[in-house]
């Protein structure tokens, strides 16, 4: 983010403001040092019972954070909100990631390892993830995919997003590559695009089986399916599972 952040080394009281980075910290063996997490930090299962829940990713409980006396707060530019980050930054070391591609995710993993004293473990993890994605290239022709993250209004992941980067690496073509970030679209736009497949993400909107018929009606020729949103959008250690999942989807 172009900011210099001075952090005690190694940090002993970490607050994580992003679910995927919380899971990464635990997988790096730092669970006992994680004192604060968000209500969305679902993995590992013990994260929210072992640490204090300090609100959501876009509404921090500043009093709870102050009581934790963190010596490192880890967040993300997209998932967190600027006023909240700026308020925390006035009192604590706040390190932010900014991720829209797999290489940036791997760089984040290595940097978190460097900051927290787990450099070797993080480097090995990043290398393993990188190697798993390197095996994804196959002879199958790429199918066009519309990837939905929200229902009312309809919103898709388009160019410039981490999801878009992973779609390409998984061997798909983003049906809405001509748009940027997370645009709202209409049913008419979807029908006109004629995607071969429609992915309804399990998060942030909880698409379920009841939504399949709705999209099938709009695009009768498309294959409509629920996909694991965590494996498309979590940019921490969960990426270890993504490449194999993408191979099954193809």
Q: Is the preceding omega at residue 156 within 30 degrees of 0, hence cis?
A: no
Q: Does residue 93 lie in a domain region? A: yes
One domain for residues 18 and 118: yes
Q: Does residue 8 lie in a domain region? A: no
Stretch (H or E) spanning 218: helix 212-218
Q: Does residue 3 lie in a domain region? A: no
Q: Do the Cβ atoms of 41 and 16 come closer than 8 Å?
A: yes
One domain for residues 23 and 123: yes
One domain for residues 150 and 129: no
One domain for residues 97 and 183: no
Q: Do the Cβ atoms of 68 and 11 come closer than 8 Å?
A: no
One domain for residues 210 and 245: yes
Q: Looking at residue 39, what is its pLDDT?
A: 96
Please say which residue of 70, 99, 133 terminates a domain: 133
Domain count across the chain: 2
3-state secondary structure of 15: strand
Beta strands in the chain (DSSP E): 14-16, 34-37, 52-53, 72-76, 94-97, 143-150, 155-156, 172-174, 197-201, 223-227
Q: Does residue 164 lie in a domain region? A: yes
One domain for residues 55 and 90: yes
SS3 content of the chain, % helix, strand, coil (to 5): 40, 20, 40
Give the CATH number, domain containing residue 94: 3.40.50.1980
Q: Does residue 150 lie in a domain region? A: yes
Q: What is the mean pLDDT of the chain?
A: 95
pLDDT at residue 198 greater than cutoff 70: yes
Stretch (H or E) spanning 130: helix 119-134
The percent of residues above 70 in pLDDT, for the chain, comes to 99
Q: Does residue 20 lie in a domain region? A: yes
pLDDT tens digits, one per residue of 27-75: 999 999 999 999 999 999 999 999 999 999 999 999 999 999 999 999 9
- Report, as an integer, the average pLDDT of 200-222: 95
202, β-bridge pairs:
none
Q: Does residue 83 lie in a domain region? A: yes
Q: Does residue 2 lie in a domain region? A: no
Please say which residue of 133, 160, 179 terminates a domain: 133
One domain for residues 119 and 55: yes
**CA–CA dist 212, 53 (Å, integer):** 34
Q: Which pLDDT band, with edges at 50, 70 and 90, does 1 fall under? A: low
pTM of the predicted protein model = 0.93
One domain for residues 120 and 159: no
pLDDT tens digits, one per residue of 89-147: 999 999 999 999 999 999 999 999 999 999 999 999 999 999 999 998 766 778 999 99
One domain for residues 32 and 118: yes
Please say which residue of 133, 163, 186 terminates a domain: 133
- What is the edge-to-edge ordering of all strands in the sheet holding 52-53? 52-53, 34-37, 14-16, 72-76, 94-97
Q: Which domain, by its residues, includes 214?
A: 143-249
One domain for residues 24 and 108: yes
One domain for residues 19 and 109: yes
Instruction: Classify residue 80 as left (phi > 0), alpha (psi -120 to 50) or beta.
Output: beta
- Report, as an integer, the average pLDDT of 155-179: 95
One domain for residues 173 and 110: no
């Amino acid at each position: 983010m172009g900011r210099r952040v001075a952090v005690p080394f190694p940090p002993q009281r970490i607050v994580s403001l992003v679910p995927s980075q919380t899971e990464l910290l635990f997988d790096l063996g730092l669970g006992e040092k994680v004192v604060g997490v968000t209500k969305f930090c679902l993995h590992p299962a013990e994260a929210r019972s072992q640490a204090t829940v300090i609100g959501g990713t876009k509404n921090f409980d500043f009093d709870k954070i102050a009581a934790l006396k963190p010596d490192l707060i880890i967040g993300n530019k997209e998932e967190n909100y600027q006023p909240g980050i700026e308020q925390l930054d006035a009192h604590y070391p706040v390190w932010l990631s900014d991720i829209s591609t797999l290489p940036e995710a791997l760089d984040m993993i290595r940097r978190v390892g460097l900051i927290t004293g787990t450099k070797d473990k993080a480097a090995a993890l990043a290398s393993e993830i990188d190697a798993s994605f390197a095996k994804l290239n196959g002879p199958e022709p790429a199918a066009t995919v519309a990837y939905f993250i929200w229902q009312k209004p309809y919103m898709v992941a388009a160019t410039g997003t981490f999801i878009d980067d992973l779609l390409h690496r998984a061997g798909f073509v983003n049906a809405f590559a001509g748009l940027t970030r997370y645009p709202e679209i209409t049913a008419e736009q979807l029908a006109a695009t004629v995607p071969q497949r429609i992915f309804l993400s399990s998060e942030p909107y909880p698409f379920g089986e009841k939504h399949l018929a709705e999209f099938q009606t709009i695009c009768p020729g498309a294959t409509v399916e629920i996909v694991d949103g965590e494996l498309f959008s979590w940019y921490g250690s969960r990426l270890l599972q993504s490449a194999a999942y993408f191979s099954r989807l193809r």
